[in-house]
Amino acid sequence: MMTMKSHIKNLTVQTTLFGQSVAKATPKTLECSVVELTSNWLTEPSLQELVDENINSTRPVDNNLGK
């Protein structure tokens, strides 16, 4: 039982350290871009309407795929 607890603790520490390394390696401009895109998505209904239109639009079909 003790080895399992020790193993779980080691995995938790490794996961935490890995998460910290990834956070340090992520460029700040990328983080800003994600925040800006999310902000635009939430504040501009026209973007959401555009996606809704594309979701319901007809898709081109290649009838030769099955042959």
Amino acid (1-letter code) at residue 56: N
pLDDT in tens, 22-62: 877 777 777 788 888 888 888 888 888 888 887 777 777 88
Which candidate, 1, 4, 24, places its Cα nearest to that of 12?
Answer: 4
Residue 1 has pLDDT above 70, yes or no: no
Let me know: does 47 contact 41? Beta carbons within 8 Å.
yes
Residue 67 has pLDDT above 70, yes or no: no
What's the pLDDT at 16?
Answer: 85
**What's the distance, CA 27 to chain centroid?**
15
For residues 2 and 36, the model is more confident at 36
